Structure 1
Amino acid sequence: MSIARLGITAVVLEGRSQADVARSYGVSKGWVSKLVARYRIEGQAAFEPHSRRPHHSPQAISASTVELILRLRGELTVRGSDA
């Protein structure tokens, strides 16, 4: 059984405090709090590991900008310029 499952079970079912559970399993109180909050929102899905990948990239170039760049490069290549 994972520490996440044990921690959530101890807080939700046994009624232990988050600080007590964190001390017992050697993890931070913040992590236990995050797990319990996730369990209350997601239910059983909270027991599964979550991806840490970002949901979006703030520096990504938009599709319209990419199309414009490719079009301009094509035009420069046809003219013989350095694209």
Structure 2
Amino acid sequence: MSTRWIRILLARYTTGGLLAVDPRSRRPHTNPATTDPDMITAILTLRDDLIEQGLDPGAQSIWDRLPPQSRPSPATIWRILSR
């Protein structure tokens, strides 16, 4: 153990007690690369519309029908559909 780590643990202990020394999660608080929830809704709605029309509801078909400025890749669309 390094002296820096020991100082960090001591500082946590003095401010929060023994529970503050427990290991903390390393998971990030946010993920800036996630797909916008509005886009996910649009993809799922478009898939339902394609199914109702009897057309192919695959990722490439959905990609072709989304606006070019904001559409994600077909692989991303496929991941959204497979959830």
Query: What TM-score, normalized by structure 2, do the two folds share?
Result: 0.49
Bigger-Rg structure (1/2): 1
